Structure 1
Amino acid sequence: MKSVFKISAIALGMTLAACGGETSASGGAAVGDAEVDTSQNWVEVVSKTEDGGYVMGNPDAPIKVVEYASLTCPACAAFSEQSHEPMMENYISQGLVSFEIRNFVRDPLDLSAALLARCNGEGPFFQLNQRLFMNQDNMFQTIQTADQARLQALSTPEALQSGQTFVGFAEASGLIELVGGMGISDQQARQCLTDSAAIQELDEVRNRALNQLNITSTPSFLINGELVSGVSSWAQLDARLQEMVQ
């Protein structure tokens, strides 16, 4: 199993340092008088994208928002908590906005969580993703009390080759137990955590973000394909969306 990630025993310093920066392009041009479309319950329309993300909402929405997010990023967790209900009620359910999440994984724990968020496919992805963000503080606290020598052993090339690195990090952080209460069995979780194709896909999503979009921090946002600056919170994104639909 090949991974682009430099493994360390959770690497919390890297996680926090790469979280909450701003992007460099403007983005977010007005779309004029956008028309509401409530012909379907767009919140229930979820699909996987060619870019390796999961998108919720009207495929023909005039505003397409993409978030590059990390499940070990506190700023991303704050965005998830603040945006969840108003994003769905004010924009997605109205057919005005589609919202896609692409995992920008930055460390072994993040990758383990992302594999579990994607474990049951399209339908439950957003619910699992939100639950993992809600559990972020507990996840950090749990893994900090884990056997650090074991985490170091999981970081070796031999552990990566055996496929046990991400199983081990998920066990040490309590994530297998967490998703067990959301319809993912222990056996299924372990299969997802050793899925080499899924791991490679997450590598590729990250590499495209770095090399094609120059994304280096989370959360970062695209609006209608353009990287936006000055947006790292729900209040900032909401203000941008309001400007666009008026």
Structure 2
Amino acid sequence: MTNLLKVSAIALAATLAACGSETSANGGAATGPVAADTSENWVETVTKTEDGGFRMGNPDAPITIIEYASLTCSHCATFAEESFTPLTENYVSQGTVNFEVRNFVRDPLDLSAALLTRCNGEGPFFQLNERLFANQGAMFETIQGADQAQLQALATPEALQSGRTFVGFAEAAGLIELVGGLGISDQQARQCLADGEAVQELEEMRNAALNDHNITGTPAFIINGQLAAGVSNWAQLDARLQELVE
């Protein structure tokens, strides 16, 4: 957490250079022909996994995708914009793919945004996640116009211990008002932003990505348990999925 707190708001644009990843495996293969299962509305089937991510779709789908994503990564925002409709309509709704998002937090603003997407549990997670990605440009513009000295004061261990850090970053970026239109009250948002256990969960998820999966950039994809080489955007992931479902 100390390293994350060192990132100032004015340096957030520079952190975008850390977006993007190249991985060393091709992603695990599906076994046998993949048959559709439309017995349920899988797009509405969302659960929180033991690893802390949120998974959409048939839990028994033959193809599982895990995306490690950062809400301050421009490539992740592009992937979210391009992928959501075709991924849900062509794969998740057919019961052939389930899709899990795990946060790979990189800076205080990213962590603040992640806390809000996770604030109300499974039901609204994907809607909140998509909304914050769609709002990424405005989020950066707003926070870069904020008082930088105040933001630096928030990025201290003392501010973190008091619970002010992520409330302050969310306020400066206009995120509390944004999620207010999606069913999270001002009071609820502030409680989630000051939730130390939720912060720790996000930090542990980042550490697992680094230590267990050797992930250093976002977006990164694990397909059927293996990191996927050369997959960093929707066109590449879609091509890989078409190979697996055939």
Work out whether the TM-score is over 0.5: yes
- CA distance in 2: counterparts of 1:5 and 1:174, whole angstroms: 20
Deviations 1:145-170 (A, max 9, x none): 00111001101221111110000000
For the 8 Å contact 2:55–2:100, the answer to whether it is kept is yes
Deviations 1:53-96 (A, max 9, x none): 00000011000000000000000000000000000110000000
State the AA in 2 paired with 1:151: L
- CA distance in 1: counterparts of 2:182 and 2:132, whole angstroms: 11
- CA distance in 2: counterparts of 1:71 and 1:53, whole angstroms: 14
Residue aligned with 2:4, SS: coil
Q: Where do 1:85-164 residues align within 5 Å?
A: 85-164=85-164
- 2:61 maps to what in 1? 61
For the 8 Å contact 1:3–1:200, the answer to whether it is kept is no
- 1:178 maps to what in 2? 178
For the 8 Å contact 1:45–1:58, the answer to whether it is kept is yes
Q: Where do 1:29-40 residues align within 5 Å?
A: 29-40=29-40
- CA distance in 2: counterparts of 1:193 and 1:32, whole angstroms: 45
For the 8 Å contact 2:30–2:63, the answer to whether it is kept is no
State the AA in 2 paired with 1:5: L
The Cα shift of 1:176 comes to 0.4
- CA distance in 1: counterparts of 2:105 and 2:169, whole angstroms: 14
Residue aligned with 2:222, SS: strand
State the AA in 2 paired with 1:94: Q
For the 8 Å contact 1:70–1:219, the answer to whether it is kept is yes
Identity level (%) = 72
Unaligned runs of 5+ in 1: none
- 1:9 maps to what in 2? 8
The Cα shift of 1:5 comes to 2.6
- CA distance in 1: counterparts of 2:24 and 2:169, whole angstroms: 33
The Cα shift of 1:4 comes to 6.0
For the 8 Å contact 1:28–1:240, the answer to whether it is kept is no
The normalised TM-score by structure 1 is 0.97
For the 8 Å contact 1:66–1:221, the answer to whether it is kept is yes
Unaligned runs of 5+ in 2: none
- CA distance in 1: counterparts of 2:97 and 2:41, whole angstroms: 13
- CA distance in 2: counterparts of 1:52 and 1:15, whole angstroms: 24
The Cα shift of 1:16 comes to 0.9
Residue aligned with 2:90, SS: helix
The Cα shift of 1:14 comes to 4.9
- CA distance in 1: counterparts of 2:130 and 2:144, whole angstroms: 22
- 1:167 maps to what in 2? 167
> Is it true that 1:201 corresponds to 2:164 in the alignment?
no
- 1:213 maps to what in 2? 213
Deviations 1:96-153 (A, max 9, x none): 0000000000000000000000000000000000000000000000001001110011
The Cα shift of 1:3 comes to 5.7
4+ runs deviating over 2 angstroms? 2-8
State the AA in 1 paired with 2:163: G
Residue aligned with 2:101, SS: strand
- 2:46 maps to what in 1? 46
Residue aligned with 1:24, SS: coil
Aligned residues: 245
State the AA in 1 paired with 2:42: W
For the 8 Å contact 2:27–2:227, the answer to whether it is kept is yes
Q: What is the CA RMSD across the aligned residues, in angstroms? A: 1.2
The normalised TM-score by structure 2 is 0.97
